[in-house]
Amino acid sequence: MKCQLINITRLLILEPYVYYKTNETEVLFYNYYDYSYLYFDNEDVVRFFNCNQQHGLFVYGLSESDYENENIRKCIDCLIKTNNASCILVNKKNNPVSFSACCNVQSDHEKNLLDVKKQDKILTNLFEVTVYINSLTGDEKQFKDAYKQFPYLYYTHSYEEIDFMFLVNFLQAALDNHTLKKINFVIIDFDKYQYKEQFIDFICDTEIAFELTFFNLNALISFVDCLPNRKIENKNNRVNLILSTRDIKKCDLSLLKSSIISSLVLSFIVENEMDISGSQAYIERYKISNFKFLPYFNGVNMQFFKDFVYYNKKDLLNQKLNITDIYSNIKLNRLDYGKIIILANGDIYTNLNSKKIGNVFNDPLPNVISNAMSSETTWFVNKTEVQPCQDCVYNFLCSPITNYEYVIGRNNLCRDVK
Ligand code: SF4
């Protein structure tokens, strides 16, 4: 696309609450004050915004020929009418500037890498930890890769479990730091875990929010039975029970103590529409109010994903995103950023679909967080830097890359997006 030098007679001034993105063929303006948007795919308009030099951050120079161009004029009128911009004649003495929002948060990757040297600061980048306290042995076929899509049973050749006191020592600096907000414990076999008592003591005494994930009702019941006279209910704590369609046939929720029900969230693994209907019947039978569906990609249910998981343009444009959300989308992956996952053998990841960043038994926590901030992990991978999303005008509105993108092997889980 060729840009031309122009004689400026007018200035187009975009309002600071507008974020816009152009590519070779489109331009999208998003108003994060009233959440409205304007979309143009006219060649003249795209050329104008791609080529025009900015006189002051958000001010665009217009030549007479630009102003008289019917398409550009229509776009300008539209921007003015919707309170997204104003247009004035050039004044030789005083011309306005309009500042777009700028990003000055931890998401500045370069800044973070510099901060790595300051050990006390680096831990402020850690907000959430997920720990698989133990593993299962065996060769389960169903949902064998599910742990790469959502917290699920993790199979190993020989039984592994994490030394709980070692884990607490490893996390101590972050616990003291108060920037660590939450710990998720994935409990695969509670009865077998030899650090049960230390674990129960910790979750009964800690002030930090936690989430416990179980995979069968009996494991949850035996855990609840280990909580004599000690309560874990707190509005910030959650207990998840993950069930497949096969499990719900034999899962009698009436066996659960009512005290745990208030913090219980049921998650149903679904692979097709029949699984959704079966789960809904179960939800109605037990009058469950807290539940969610976990779509499982099994390699052959792509149509189900297209129908139920993929999003479209309307979904993206109907979101109400503020500038923090937008900068989060373009600077980092807000699903992964600030979070680490620790497996039962101590290995640490930012995402189980990416490479290891350390081990609890070999690497101090600041070094692990430093590794998490390297460009090779998932903390900063976002739609503005992967194909084919890089050039999409909707990428600043688009959901972060999830585990499904990694497992399915494509970054654009969207439909009807031009
Ligand atoms: S997934 Fe990629 S291509 Fe699809 S809307 Fe989002 S950014 Fe655009």
Q: What is the pLDDT of residues 326-336, one digit of tens each?
A: 999 999 999 99
pTM: 0.90
Q: Are strands 238-243 and 209-214 parallel, antiparallel or unpaired?
A: parallel
Ligand 1 atom with the smallest distance to the CA of 389 is 2
Q: Say which residues have a Cβ less than 8 Å from residue 61's Cβ, sequence separation at least 6.
A: 6, 8, 10, 11, 12, 52, 53, 55, 90
Question: Which residue from 23, 329, 417, 418 has its CB within 8 A of the most atoms of ligand 1, so it is best to mutate?
Answer: 417
The Cα 321–Cα 106 span in angstroms is 19
Ligand 1 atom with the smallest distance to the CA of 412 is 1
CA-nearest residue for atom 2, ligand 1, is 389
The Cα 11–Cα 95 span in angstroms is 8
> Is the beta carbon of 368 within 6 A of some atom in ligand 1?
no
CA-nearest residue for atom 6, ligand 1, is 398
Peptide bond into 400 cis (omega under 30): no
**What's 258's DSSP letter?**
H
Q: Say which residues have a Cβ less than 8 Å from residue 334's Cβ, sequence separation at least 6.
A: 328, 400
How far away, in angstroms, is 326 Cα from ligand 1 center?
A: 14
- Mapping DSSP to helix (H, G, I), strand (E, B) and coil, where does residue 109 land? helix
Bridge partners for 111 per DSSP: none
How far away, in angstroms, is 389 Cα from ligand 1 center?
A: 5
> Is the beta carbon of 395 within 6 A of some atom in ligand 1?
yes
CB atoms within 10 A of CB 44: 15
The Cα 183–Cα 385 span in angstroms is 30
Whether the CA torsion 384, 387, 389, 391 is positive or negative: it is positive
- The answer to whether the CB of 321 falls within 8 A of the CB of 35 is yes
Structure confidence at residue 3 (pLDDT): 47
Whether the CA torsion 279, 282, 287, 290 is positive or negative: it is negative
- Mapping DSSP to helix (H, G, I), strand (E, B) and coil, where does residue 281 land? helix
- The answer to whether the CB of 301 falls within 8 A of the CB of 308 is no
How far away, in angstroms, is 331 Cα from ligand 1 center?
A: 16
> Is the beta carbon of 392 within 6 A of some atom in ligand 1?
yes
**Angle in degrees, CA 303, 308, 310, rounded to 5:** 80
How far away, in angstroms, is 354 Cα from ligand 1 center?
A: 21
Greatest Cα pair distance, the chain, in angstroms, is 80
- The answer to whether the CB of 121 falls within 8 A of the CB of 137 is no
The Cα 242–Cα 36 span in angstroms is 38
Q: Which domains does the chain have, with CATH numbers?
A: 8-89 (3.90.930), 109-408 (3.20.20)
Q: Enumerate residue ranges in the chain where pLDDT < 50.
A: 1-5, 107
Q: Say which residues have a Cβ less than 8 Å from residue 320's Cβ, sequence separation at least 6.
A: 35
**Angle in degrees, CA 118, 119, 120, rounded to 5:** 95
> Is the beta carbon of 21 within 6 A of some atom in ligand 1?
no
Q: What is the CA radius of gyration of the chain?
A: 26
Ligand 1 atom with the smallest distance to the CA of 316 is 5
How far away, in angstroms, is 386 Cα from ligand 1 center?
A: 10
How far away, in angstroms, is 391 Cα from ligand 1 center?
A: 9
**Angle in degrees, CA 45, 47, 51, rounded to 5:** 125
How far away, in angstroms, is 111 Cα from ligand 1 center?
A: 28
DSSP E strand boundaries for 252-338: 264-270, 291-295, 311-312
